[in-house]
Structure 1
Amino acid sequence: MSPSNIPSHPPLHGLADTPANNPLNKSPAPLHTTAKPNINKPAKGDGKNNKKYATIWRWHFYAGMFIAPFLLILSLSALGMLFMANTVGPNNELLTVSKQDTITPVSVQAHSALSAVPDGTLKQYIAPKSDHNVALFRVGSETGQTMVAVDPYSAKVIKIAPSDSNLYHTFDNIHSDLLIGKVGDYLLETAASLTTLLVLTGWYLWWYRRKSIKAMLIPDAKLNNKRSTFVTIHATLGTWLSVLLLLFCVSGMAWAGIWGGKVVQAWSQFPAGKWGNGPMPASTLPPTHGEALNSSGIKEVPWILELTPMPTSGSTLGEKGIDPSLPITLDTVDRFARDSGFEGRYQLNLPQGETGVWTLSQDSMSYDTPSPMADRTMHIDRYSGKVLADIRFEDYNAFGKFMAAGNAIHMGTLGLWSLMANVLFCLSVITICISGYVMWWQRRPSKLNTAATQKSGLNPPPSKGDIPWGLAIILLIVSVIFPTAIIAIVAIAVLDFVIIGRVPVLKRLLK
């Protein structure tokens, strides 16, 4: 039979017998193949879950775009405050002097301070922080208040500066109200309130991808692109810091004008009735601790006492205090303070007005002591020398203790470890904010001249339906607890569901 008469057979399994399809020419397939995880995309799920993820991601994006600039400002100003507080002190109290055998009486030091400020009136004495540091005197005059640093051994004036003019207070003012007063205070309070929303939505987004708390806390070792690296840095670092970030926000907001001053502080103040002040008409109330003792608006009085009315001199109230046989002078009050347990740095505020009192205080918020549990404030009748009040940490209510401890953590006053932890925390928050912006930038189209870029705008996560009930509950809780957050949340909701689709410019930016 000739070759031409040999019948042709169909190829096996219907495959053309070509080199490409010949099994003998193929490499054996690997037994196991593992695709690299892509943490830029959420884990696959049903359409309902993906819509929920996209909506929560979009709200996380909105909150982050608003909050991140403020978190950067707060972190940078906090680093400035930490540096100044531990190098020169808020009022130059870390200036050094040579230790001598004898300390001059406080009244002699005060005389030197008053001589440096013409027509001045002594307001406050702050004892040296150590044997090698200066004493401070706050002197008031028609031109304002002046801080005078004095050598406690020679009574020589070391430095004169306007009160609260140190660079520390510039950072503090930025940290408190952005240097724009109440508007800045409200903006920062709103940002801190929305941080709660940012943290809760961030937890959900990262858990949805990682599926376990352990995985959320460990960076992914298999990163397939640059954006994946920033995602894992942003999310893992954010998970580690989230609880501490919430603590810092709550302790900071407790000083804010609305949630702090109008809500929690008003209901948590120390009761003035404990030192015999009964109910009084508002017109006759003595000044509060904050009004009488805070200088130039700087927060120095313990949080729980700030709104509490001061006790008054001239009554029969009080307990045993300064020996009645001694005159009540700056020196005898200082000696009584030392005998009563005020060691190292403490503050002595002189009576102001006919019913004013001597006030001795030592607290961590003013950098007097490292531990908030050593907080103590004592008031002395200017006429009888009796102790009208002696308030210690154990006398605070539960929220007052939380705030005292929270402020010590917030300000890094608990020792070197606390200082270093605060520095690391601030740097980490800066890293989270920057990585968030980098992630957003990398998600945008890469070619700037494409039509996609012109339509992308800010390129937020996609909008895929209504707000999930879980997110709605979170929004409701945040709005109820933090009043300033209501305006921001309502504004975002109206923007997202009503305005964007009707305004062409916003549609290009945010759709």
Structure 2
Amino acid sequence: MKKNEKLNKWLWKWHFIAGLISLPFIILLSITGGIYLFKSDYETPRQQHIKEVVVQGAPISLQEQWQIANSNAIKKPNSVVLTTKANQATQFVSGRFGGKSSLYVNPYNGNVSGEIISRNTDMFKIRKLHGELLMGKYGTKIVELIASWMVVLILTGLYIWWPARQWSAKGFFIPRIKEGKRIFFRDAHAITGFWISGLLILILAGGFPWTDVFGSNFKELQKITNTGFPKTWEGRHLQSQPKEEPLTLDQMVAKAQALQLSGIVTLHFPKGPKGVFSVSNLNPSNLNTQKKIHFDQYSGKQILSNAWDDVGVLMRGRMWVMAFHQGEFGAWNWWLMLITAIALTTMSISGLISYILRKRKGSWGVPKVPAAFKVGYGIIVTIIVLGFIFPLFGISLIILFIFDYIKLLRKKRSIALTD
């Protein structure tokens, strides 16, 4: 591919500016993302005394355990997680996402072994730092802006790195050592970036659904195209036919167990006398096995069943990239995410060192672009498309162009005054 040298310099200028602003945030995101991968390793030993109990005799009924949970939980539980081992405490869940808390009941003596409130855990704080810089909605938008610019940094970086003349297989793998520190760190930045560029795009795709602006637009697109979860998935419009007595929790759990669903199986409680019991399973390693099944709370009759095939294509794609982003497809996925996090940190730090070694005193060291260069229509269209897909990127780019234009006008004015 023959490169346009003037375009190369123009792209390098914007790659340089965006990188300079973004690098500190990218380093933080890559480090916190890598740490969060160890969530299970960190929390399992610290929560073991709550989640595991000593097996002693026959367990008390789940209905009785439910009453104990209702009396002791901060908020009344809305679901119970089905246990798979005799030494597991029964987990009653209240709330969702950041407001989730889990109360654990010893099934043998009815004692509450403990309650885990998600927002109070160390890993929840790491996740909040990773997703919103501990700054709430403002932080989420900053992270979204940085992620949007990362897409641009990847695309421009690939073009800038692409050899203009001769190819060298060695140049794809090994930084130049004998040409000085700056060249070494620049090569380390470029080579690492080249090898992880495709993975980074995929990982970013898995992070964008959590964002405010892009995420909201994507959800709206799912609604318009009817490619999200089916309306029946949550069972909000389904009703039980009231009779004298509803099923006990033990009876309903027996029905849920008979389904033999894979992964973590949860039984959701009815909302009111006309509500329904719902059974769902979380199995990120094999999304195709996930189901949501609804039952009449009085007769126990199955009202409706939704399988993964009923979920729209955009939602299925979204869930896949989100699971990949979190390394949930097994050991290979986990190691791939960890290696990518380390590589991204290395790439960012080497880029920063290269800039410090290149920078002269009294100057930001921004690459100069020939005055006669004009951006082609293809680039303009690409920028507009990216601006629509990533609105915060589009807004930030307009602001940067305004500053650049004002700087150019001042330079012309100062030249005119000296003449």
Is it true that 1:109 corresponds to 2:35 in the alignment?
no
In the alignment, the residues of structure 1 paired with residue 194 and residue 107 of structure 2 have an alpha-carbon distance, to the nearest angstrom, of 49
Structure 1 residue 193 displacement after superposition: 1.7
In the alignment, the residues of structure 2 paired with residue 326 and residue 336 of structure 1 have an alpha-carbon distance, to the nearest angstrom, of 17
Structure 1 residue 330 displacement after superposition: 1.6
Matching residue of 1:262:
217
> Which of these residues, 201, 218, 226, is aligned with residue 246 of structure 1?
201
Structure possessing the higher radius of gyration over alpha carbons:
1
Q: Secondary structure at the match of 2:120?
A: coil
Q: Secondary structure at the match of 1:259?
A: helix
Structure 1 residue 395 displacement after superposition: 2.3
Structure 1 residue 257 displacement after superposition: 2.0
In the alignment, the residues of structure 1 paired with residue 410 and residue 84 of structure 2 have an alpha-carbon distance, to the nearest angstrom, of 63
Structure 1 residue 426 displacement after superposition: 1.2
Deviations 1:53-97 (A, max 9, x none): 211101111221233233223222223322223332699488434
> Which of these residues, 330, 347, 357, is aligned with residue 249 of structure 2?
330
Instruction: Read off the aligned partner of 2:239 and give its amino acid letter.
Output: S
Q: 1:265 to 1:134 in 2, by over 3 A?
A: farther
Instruction: Read off the aligned partner of 1:113 and give its amino acid letter.
Output: A
Map of 1:90-169 to 2, 5 A cutoff? 92=47, 95-98=51-54, 103-117=59-73, 121-128=76-83, 130=85, 132-139=87-94, 146-169=101-124
Structure 1 residue 221 displacement after superposition: 5.1
Matching residue of 2:330:
415
Structure 1 residue 115 displacement after superposition: 4.3
Structure 1 residue 239 displacement after superposition: 1.0
Matching residue of 2:281:
362
Structure 1 residue 327 displacement after superposition: 4.2
In the alignment, the residues of structure 2 paired with residue 145 and residue 251 of structure 1 have an alpha-carbon distance, to the nearest angstrom, of 22
Map of 1:338-377 to 2, 5 A cutoff? 338-343=257-262, 345-364=264-283, 370-377=285-292
Deviations 1:168-187 (A, max 9, x none): 22222223322322222222
In the alignment, the residues of structure 1 paired with residue 209 and residue 73 of structure 2 have an alpha-carbon distance, to the nearest angstrom, of 37
Instruction: Read off the aligned partner of 2:294 and give its amino acid letter.
Output: H
Instruction: Read off the aligned partner of 1:422 and give its amino acid letter.
Output: M
Q: 1:180 to 1:216 in 2, by over 3 A?
A: same
Q: Secondary structure at the match of 1:412?
A: coil
In the alignment, the residues of structure 1 paired with residue 327 and residue 54 of structure 2 have an alpha-carbon distance, to the nearest angstrom, of 28
Is it true that 1:271 corresponds to 2:230 in the alignment?
yes
Structure 1 residue 241 displacement after superposition: 0.9
Matching residue of 2:415:
none
Instruction: Read off the aligned partner of 1:244 and give its amino acid letter.
Output: L
In the alignment, the residues of structure 2 paired with residue 337 and residue 494 of structure 1 have an alpha-carbon distance, to the nearest angstrom, of 60
Q: 1:132 to 1:72 in 2, by over 3 A?
A: farther
Q: 2:268–2:277: 8 Å Cα contact kept in structure 1? A: yes
Structure 1 residue 146 displacement after superposition: 4.5
Matching residue of 1:302:
none
Structure 1 residue 163 displacement after superposition: 4.7
In the alignment, the residues of structure 1 paired with residue 308 and residue 168 of structure 2 have an alpha-carbon distance, to the nearest angstrom, of 37
> Which of these residues, 8, 15, 19, is aligned with residue 64 of structure 1?
19
In the alignment, the residues of structure 2 paired with residue 232 and residue 153 of structure 1 have an alpha-carbon distance, to the nearest angstrom, of 62
Deviations 1:418-475 (A, max 9, x none): 2222221111111111111111111113xxxxxxx22x1x222223334532543431
Q: 1:130 to 1:81 in 2, by over 3 A?
A: farther
In the alignment, the residues of structure 1 paired with residue 85 and residue 13 of structure 2 have an alpha-carbon distance, to the nearest angstrom, of 53
Is it true that 1:496 corresponds to 2:417 in the alignment?
no
In the alignment, the residues of structure 1 paired with residue 380 and residue 236 of structure 2 have an alpha-carbon distance, to the nearest angstrom, of 44
Q: 1:270 to 1:226 in 2, by over 3 A?
A: same
Matching residue of 1:25:
none
What percentage of aligned pairs have identical amino acids?
Answer: 25
> Which of these residues, 380, 392, 395, is aligned with residue 472 of structure 1?
380
Q: 1:359–1:378: 8 Å Cα contact kept in structure 2? A: yes
Higher relative contact order (CA 8 A, sep 6+): 2
In the alignment, the residues of structure 2 paired with residue 49 and residue 479 of structure 1 have an alpha-carbon distance, to the nearest angstrom, of 23
> Which of these residues, 344, 347, 355, is aligned with residue 432 of structure 1?
347
Q: 1:138 to 1:222 in 2, by over 3 A?
A: closer
Q: 2:154–2:197: 8 Å Cα contact kept in structure 1? A: yes
Q: 2:62–2:249: 8 Å Cα contact kept in structure 1? A: yes
Structure 1 residue 256 displacement after superposition: 1.9
The count of aligned residue pairs is 401
Structure 1 residue 200 displacement after superposition: 0.7
Structure 1 residue 147 displacement after superposition: 2.3
Matching residue of 1:310:
236
Q: 1:348 to 1:128 in 2, by over 3 A?
A: same
Q: 1:114 to 1:55 in 2, by over 3 A?
A: same
Q: 1:210–1:216: 8 Å Cα contact kept in structure 2? A: no
TM-score normalised by L of structure 1: 0.69
Q: Secondary structure at the match of 2:285?
A: coil
Q: 1:372 to 1:485 in 2, by over 3 A?
A: same
TM-score normalised by L of structure 2: 0.83
Q: Secondary structure at the match of 1:413?
A: coil
Q: Secondary structure at the match of 1:195?
A: helix
Structure 1 residue 130 displacement after superposition: 5.0
Q: 2:78–2:93: 8 Å Cα contact kept in structure 1? A: yes
Q: 1:74 to 1:327 in 2, by over 3 A?
A: same
Q: 1:430 to 1:163 in 2, by over 3 A?
A: closer
- Taking only aligned residues, the RMSD between alpha carbons, in angstroms, comes to 3.4
Q: 1:90 to 1:116 in 2, by over 3 A?
A: farther
Is it true that 1:460 corresponds to 2:419 in the alignment?
no
Deviations 1:185-227 (A, max 9, x none): 2222222222221111000011035755966632245641111
> Which of these residues, 157, 160, 166, is aligned with residue 202 of structure 1?
157
Structure 1 residue 497 displacement after superposition: 2.8
Q: 1:87 to 1:388 in 2, by over 3 A?
A: farther
In the alignment, the residues of structure 2 paired with residue 136 and residue 86 of structure 1 have an alpha-carbon distance, to the nearest angstrom, of 20
Q: 1:344 to 1:270 in 2, by over 3 A?
A: closer
